Protein backbone atom coordinates (compact mmCIF):
# COMPACT_ATOMS: atom_id res chain seq x y z
CA UNK A 1 0.00 0.00 0.00
CA UNK A 2 2.77 2.42 0.93
CA UNK A 3 4.58 1.72 -2.36
CA UNK A 4 1.45 2.51 -4.40
CA UNK A 5 0.94 5.73 -2.43
CA UNK A 6 4.57 6.76 -3.01
CA UNK A 7 4.24 6.13 -6.76
CA UNK A 8 1.15 8.34 -6.94
CA UNK A 9 2.92 11.09 -4.98
CA UNK A 10 5.87 10.87 -7.37
CA UNK A 11 3.50 11.19 -10.35
CA UNK A 12 1.92 14.26 -8.77
CA UNK A 13 5.29 15.87 -8.04
CA UNK A 14 6.48 15.19 -11.60
CA UNK A 15 3.34 16.82 -12.99
CA UNK A 16 3.87 19.90 -10.83
CA UNK A 17 7.57 20.21 -11.59
CA UNK A 18 7.84 19.30 -15.26
CA UNK A 19 4.43 20.06 -16.75
CA UNK A 20 3.98 23.27 -14.70
CA UNK A 21 0.23 22.71 -14.44
CA UNK A 22 -0.15 25.22 -11.61
CA UNK A 23 2.64 27.58 -12.65
CA UNK A 24 6.41 27.73 -13.07
CA UNK A 25 7.97 25.52 -10.37
CA UNK A 26 10.59 26.97 -8.04
CA UNK A 27 10.71 24.39 -5.23
CA UNK A 28 8.72 22.45 -2.65
CA UNK A 29 8.60 21.05 0.86
CA UNK A 30 6.45 18.09 1.85
CA UNK A 31 5.76 15.56 4.55
CA UNK A 32 3.71 12.37 4.53
CA UNK A 33 1.67 11.66 7.66
CA UNK A 34 -0.37 8.65 8.73
CA UNK A 35 -3.70 9.11 10.48
CA UNK A 36 -4.97 7.01 13.37
CA UNK A 37 -6.47 4.50 10.98
CA UNK A 38 -3.20 4.21 9.06
CA UNK A 39 -4.25 6.21 6.01
CA UNK A 40 -1.39 8.29 4.59
CA UNK A 41 -1.82 11.85 3.43
CA UNK A 42 0.53 14.45 2.01
CA UNK A 43 1.16 18.02 3.15
CA UNK A 44 2.79 19.78 0.21
CA UNK A 45 3.98 23.36 -0.04
CA UNK A 46 4.87 24.35 -3.61
CA UNK A 47 6.89 27.47 -4.34
CA UNK A 48 6.13 29.05 -7.72
CA UNK A 49 7.89 31.79 -9.63
CA UNK A 50 5.30 34.55 -9.54
CA UNK A 51 5.06 38.28 -9.25
CA UNK A 52 3.52 40.00 -6.25
CA UNK A 53 0.23 40.47 -8.16
CA UNK A 54 -0.44 36.72 -7.97
CA UNK A 55 -1.33 36.71 -4.26
CA UNK A 56 -4.64 38.51 -4.46
CA UNK A 57 -7.87 37.52 -2.74
CA UNK A 58 -9.45 36.71 -6.12
CA UNK A 59 -6.63 34.31 -7.06
CA UNK A 60 -6.69 32.65 -3.64
CA UNK A 61 -10.46 32.09 -3.96
CA UNK A 62 -9.87 30.33 -7.30
CA UNK A 63 -7.88 27.56 -5.55
CA UNK A 64 -8.91 27.52 -1.88
CA UNK A 65 -12.36 27.24 -0.34
CA UNK A 66 -13.23 27.29 3.36
CA UNK A 67 -16.91 26.61 2.66
CA UNK A 68 -18.93 23.42 2.60
CA UNK A 69 -20.23 22.32 -0.82
CA UNK A 70 -23.84 23.34 -1.44
CA UNK A 71 -24.67 21.23 -4.50
CA UNK A 72 -28.10 19.62 -3.92
CA UNK A 73 -27.26 16.39 -5.80
CA UNK A 74 -26.14 13.10 -4.21
CA UNK A 75 -22.43 13.71 -4.88
CA UNK A 76 -22.50 17.17 -3.29
CA UNK A 77 -24.31 15.85 -0.22
CA UNK A 78 -21.88 12.93 0.14
CA UNK A 79 -18.88 15.26 -0.20
CA UNK A 80 -20.36 17.62 2.39
CA UNK A 81 -20.79 14.69 4.81
CA UNK A 82 -17.18 13.54 4.31
CA UNK A 83 -15.84 17.05 4.91
CA UNK A 84 -17.96 17.52 8.04
CA UNK A 85 -16.89 14.18 9.52
CA UNK A 86 -13.17 14.41 8.67
CA UNK A 87 -12.18 18.06 8.36
CA UNK A 88 -14.47 20.19 10.56
CA UNK A 89 -13.23 21.04 14.06
CA UNK A 90 -16.02 19.85 16.37
CA UNK A 91 -14.17 18.83 19.55
CA UNK A 92 -15.30 21.83 21.55
CA UNK A 93 -18.69 22.24 19.88
CA UNK A 94 -21.58 22.74 22.26
CA UNK A 95 -19.35 23.94 25.09
CA UNK A 96 -17.42 20.70 25.60
CA UNK A 97 -14.97 22.03 28.21
CA UNK A 98 -13.21 18.66 28.42
CA UNK A 99 -11.94 18.85 24.83
CA UNK A 100 -8.14 18.95 24.45
CA UNK A 101 -8.32 22.17 22.45
CA UNK A 102 -9.92 24.12 25.30
CA UNK A 103 -7.87 26.25 27.65
CA UNK A 104 -8.71 28.73 30.38
CA UNK A 105 -10.48 26.01 32.35
CA UNK A 106 -10.27 28.11 35.48
CA UNK A 107 -13.78 28.89 36.72
CA UNK A 108 -12.91 32.61 36.76
CA UNK A 109 -12.02 32.75 33.06
CA UNK A 110 -14.02 31.96 29.96
CA UNK A 111 -13.26 28.77 28.12
CA UNK A 112 -11.83 29.34 24.67
CA UNK A 113 -10.62 27.02 21.95
CA UNK A 114 -6.86 27.18 21.32
CA UNK A 115 -7.53 26.76 17.59
CA UNK A 116 -9.78 29.82 17.53
CA UNK A 117 -13.06 28.02 16.84
CA UNK A 118 -15.76 28.77 16.15
CA UNK A 119 -14.46 31.25 13.60
CA UNK A 120 -16.41 34.26 12.42
CA UNK A 121 -17.94 34.16 8.96
CA UNK A 122 -15.92 36.01 6.36
CA UNK A 123 -17.63 37.52 3.27
CA UNK A 124 -14.36 37.84 1.35
CA UNK A 125 -10.78 36.61 1.62
CA UNK A 126 -8.51 39.06 3.41
CA UNK A 127 -4.72 39.13 3.51
CA UNK A 128 -3.38 40.66 6.73
CA UNK A 129 -0.27 42.85 7.03
CA UNK A 130 1.85 39.86 8.08
CA UNK A 131 0.68 37.80 5.07
CA UNK A 132 -1.78 35.59 6.97
CA UNK A 133 -4.90 34.78 4.97
CA UNK A 134 -8.42 34.87 6.37
CA UNK A 135 -10.27 32.75 3.82
CA UNK A 136 -13.74 33.55 2.57
CA UNK A 137 -16.30 31.59 4.58
CA UNK A 138 -19.77 32.97 3.90
CA UNK A 139 -22.77 32.26 6.12
CA UNK A 140 -24.88 30.01 3.89
CA UNK A 141 -27.06 28.67 6.66
Which candidate, 91, 75, 12, places its Cα nearest to that of 46?
12
pLDDT value at position 107? 59
pLDDT value at position 112? 75
Percent of the chain topping pLDDT 90: 0
Going by pLDDT thresholds of 50, 70 and 90, the confidence category of residue 10 is confident
Which candidate, 66, 41, 45, places its Cα nearest to that of 138?
66
Going by pLDDT thresholds of 50, 70 and 90, the confidence category of residue 20 is confident
pTM of the model: 0.50
pLDDT value at position 77? 86
The Cα 21–Cα 37 span in angstroms is 32
pLDDT value at position 52? 65
Secondary structure of the chain in HEC code, one letter for each residue: CHHHHHHHHHHHHHHHHHHCCCCCEEEEEEEEEECCCCCEEEEEEEEECCCHHHCCHHHHHHHCCCCCCCCCCHHHHHHHHHHHHHCCCCCCHHHCCCCCCEECCCCCCCCEECCCCCCCCECCCEECCCCCEECCECCCC
Amino acid sequence: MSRVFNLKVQDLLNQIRHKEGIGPWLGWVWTIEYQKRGLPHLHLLVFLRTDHQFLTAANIDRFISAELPTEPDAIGEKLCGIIQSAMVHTYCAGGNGQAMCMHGLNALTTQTCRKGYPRQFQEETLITEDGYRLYRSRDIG
